[in-house]
């Protein structure tokens, strides 16, 4: 079953009010509620595009696939790439547990990656 991964992405980006964020971006309130509840009746391509632009991600980042218990899929099936990782850490929580020196190292690494892009 496919579901949306929006709340995880908003949390990782430090966005505390995702509903307001989506509405301000042009998504109507009813659609924003459905998207955040991961229960939209339909998923509009323009909404996917808006969200991907805002969150600097791809449509694959927005989706999580959970295999159903009654069906088996070969390990090389492309849907396996959309499985939710075992553990998704919040970057803010991780940084809070690190020394300042470690945070500086991570910041430098991120800056190096950004320069390489």
CA-wise closest residue to 35 among 20, 14, 56, 57: 20
Band (117; pLDDT cuts 50, 70, 90): confident
Q: Are residues 34 and 70 in the same domain?
A: yes
Q: What are phi and psi of 66, to 5 degrees?
A: -120, 115
17 Cβ contact partners less than 8 Å away, ≥ 6 residues apart: none
- Between CA 83 and CA 112 the distance in angstroms is 29
pLDDT averaged over every residue in the chain: 87
Rounded mean pLDDT of 53-82?
Answer: 88
Q: Are residues 62 and 99 in the same domain?
A: no
Whether residue 48 has pLDDT greater than 90? yes
- Between CA 27 and CA 43 the distance in angstroms is 12
Residue 99 CA: distances (Å) to CA of 45, 66, 95? 42, 36, 8
Range of the domain at 100: 88-117
Q: Are residues 64 and 114 in the same domain?
A: no
- Do β-strands 63-65 and 2-4 pair in parallel, antiparallel, or remain unpaired? antiparallel
Q: How many helices (H) and strands (E) does the chain have?
A: 7, 2
Q: Are residues 113 and 66 in the same domain?
A: no
Q: Are residues 92 and 59 in the same domain?
A: no
Number of structural domains (the chain) is: 2
pLDDT tens per residue across span 24-39: 999 999 999 989 987 7
pLDDT tens per residue across span 71-102: 888 889 998 888 876 655 667 778 888 888 99
Q: What is the pLDDT of residue 66?
A: 84
Q: Are residues 45 and 93 in the same domain?
A: no
The dihedral over CA atoms of 17, 23, 28, 31, expressed in degrees to the nearest 10, equals -30
In the numeric block, the tokens 């808006």 are attached to 50
Q: Are residues 79 and 97 in the same domain?
A: no
Band (43; pLDDT cuts 50, 70, 90): confident
């Amino acid at each position: 079953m496919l579901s949306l991964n929006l709340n995880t992405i908003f949390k990782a980006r430090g966005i505390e009010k995702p509903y307001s964020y989506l509405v301000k971006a042009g998504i109507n309130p009813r659609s924003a509620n459905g998207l955040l509840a991961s229960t939209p009746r339909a998923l509009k391509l323009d909404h996917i595009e808006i969200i991907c632009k805002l969150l600097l991600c791809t449509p694959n980042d927005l989706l999580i696939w959970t295999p159903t218990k009654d069906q088996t899929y070969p390990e090389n099936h492309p849907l396996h790439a959309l499985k939710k990782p075992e553990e998704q850490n919040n970057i803010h929580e991780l940084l809070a547990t690190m020394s300042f020196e470690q945070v500086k190292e991570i910041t430098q690494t991120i800056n190096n990656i950004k320069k390489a892009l």
